[in-house]
Structure 1
Amino acid sequence: MRLAYQYRLRPTAAQMQNLNHWLDMLRSQYNWLLAERFDWWELHRCPVNACPLVSSITPPKEQPNYYNQKRSLVALKKERSWYKAMHSQVLQDMVRRVGLAFDRYLKGDSNGKRSGKPRFKGKGRYHSFIYTQAENDWIVGNQVSLPKLGTIKFIQHRPLPEGFDVKTAIISKKADDWYITFSLVDESVPTINPNIDIEKSVGIDLGLKDFLVTGDGLHVPIPQYYRKAQKRLAKEQRKLAHKKNKASKRRAKQVRKVAKLHAKIARQRKEFHHKTAVLLLRKYEVIAHENLNIKGLARTRLAKSVQDAGWGTFITILANKAEKAGCLTIGVNPSGTTQMCSDCDAHVPKTLSDRWHACPDCRLELHRDENSGRNMLKKAEGHPVFKARGVRSTRWTMKREARTLSAG
């Protein structure tokens, strides 16, 4: 099992200056290595053993990759001695980020989805660095000893779990302060509890009228934090737009003020997601949810409401918390779950404004999102966890079969 614990750092003024200096040096070298890759791509656009479609009068060069760019760090430290003050793991991870951004642009990720063209990092656009081989003994009480940076205090608002090994440490600069995130691993903890109770299973329907509705009737209202803060945010952004001098201290202060307001909205939403996930996992052990095309929905006229709901972040938090609790989340295709009756599988057409499901065949009547949540769970029955226990149908389908037998 892998976990992440984040704490707020309390660096001194000298340490904060050093952290900012590291970020600026990493940003400069990131831009240099990214430019090196772009230069090679514009000249060659193919490996050295292939015939290019675009010819060049320059002799062919070796294609930049993670390994040869990592070897260039040795020469970098000789030419620019100030880079010797930076830990080697931090520099190597910066090279990895360059390769990851460029490969996603050319080849795509594991699913074949390509990202946009990577951009050069402007001042203040490089926010974090990583120690890729952190150790447990770096942490002593409320202090963490970071190589080449020294001992920095942090607010340990919750203790690290016992039995887990610290693998990485991420130092990040956010709108209000510095933070450290420890990545923890314990291979002995199972991902899914072998004694999981599938009777405690439910399907959930995500929406904009209610944040979610479960198949057994639990309605969680949507908070709409961005909508509530929209007027105040617009006021602060207008003040920022009036400050034309980009080098002024007043503009920098207003930028921080707007950033903090955005951060507050994001944290309110994140806290709501965490509390909702805990509410579900205390009651259920198997949760079936819909695999929504959130990117597609974010390009419609409902974009602001979809982004404010944060369904993608919630599903990720729910899956992580379920794994930690030994529970299971199952994503299913939501196609037809609203139009199909959860009791008799009859097709009952509805428009988006129809909020009530009334089946003319079996006379089932309930909220349309509850009906959809039940259909989510029915679709999830093909998961190996259900098959391993010989589960053939959910409790709602069992009621339908019992009713059919009694009628015969």
Structure 2
Amino acid sequence: MPPRAQKRRASATESNGTEDAPPRKTTRAPRKSGARGTNQRKGKNFMRVTNASSNKRRKVFSVEAKSRIKKHGADFVKFIDKETHTRVPRIGVEILKKDISPDLAGVLPWTSSSAALQGQSTQPYPKMILKALDNLQSDVRTCEGLVKQDNKIRAPNWMRWQQDINDLEDVSKHGLAMASKMINHFIMPDSHELPPKPSEGAGGVEHVAWDLIEEALPTMPDDIWGKIAQGHLKAFTGDLDQAAKMGALKYVEELQKKKQSDVVAFLLRVRCWELRQLNVIHRASRPSRLDKARRLGYKAKQGYVIYRVRVRRGGRKRPAPKGATYGKPTNQGINQLKYQRSLKATAEERVGRRCANLRVLNSYWINQDSTYKYYEVILVDPQHKAIRIDPRINWIVNPVHKHRESRGLTATGKKSRGLNKGHRYNKTQAGRRKTWKRHNTLSLWRYR
């Protein structure tokens, strides 16, 4: 079978020739007229007649439908006009404008200001709309009356809760302050007065606090126990020349007791650094602890001298040449030997050797670090006239008190010797064996 492309007619653009292609000759025979063709022509004519008659009937029906619709429409319009004119009362334009708002009056056609409408005395207006307007106006008046009515009920203001909390705290603070003043007045009426009433310019919080406190104020008779006690106190204090007061050195003493506080710890650290830069034994212009020095006999007058000294901490190694010791094994120790006396007694002895012409009165601790302990030693000049004529200190002028620090006659020397007054003081804290036991026993705090 040849391909379909061979049967397709070539287009003008595809043909290479400039002339049109000749018409195609067919071999189909012409139609023959016979009985079949006659019958077909008769059927066509019959259909044409039938279609024409149906079109005529359709036109008649459409005309009748249109006339009926127009009739029903005219009847409906007449019915509406009849119902409108018979049931709706006529109302004047001015009355209608008075009943409705001005904005709505300009929009409605029957309230317009045209000449045609103004000529008419009355206009038709639906009764149902008028009744609805009357009901709406009555509801509006009722609502306005309810809104303007003050029933003393306020909705909670959620945005002001924080402010209310702050106001309540202020009221509590002012009330507490006023109550404290009142209590002090009841106890000591002459020393404390009642709190005054807040002025007009004061805040509302103060007035509220005053109102709350004023309601609880009792009537104060003249013979309350607070006034009586105050009178007795005045009577007793009047007999005294001067009330007892705590001196300045007492405050210094209390401050010195708090060595771990920030202030004292800082001072000790700075002074310790300064003492390390100075000589081992040097004279001080004034005591570092004036309260302690005065308790130990120091006076800020001529004849009294203060020396500072530092002593190395730790035990005392036996100075045996090349470690050679002689005697029994119990006495052959080199290390782990403790001095029988304290480091403060050593400090006094060294200062006494440096200042041989002075007498050691006492000493006290001032500072320490990991290597040294620092002490201040109070010395007295026995040749000074101010000392010799002072009956409270001239006992130290006697020759029997020369180098008393070397013979254990100072306070620290007597302590290391175990001396004190009383028949029950024997064998309490000192002695050769007691000191050795104390030095060689590890003693720790239970809660450390």
User: Larger RCO: Structure 1 or Structure 2 (Cα < 8 Å, ≥ 6 residues apart)?
Assistant: 1
TM-score (norm 1): 0.16
TM-score (norm 2): 0.15
Whichever of the two has the greater Rg, that structure is: 2
| Higher helix proportion | 2
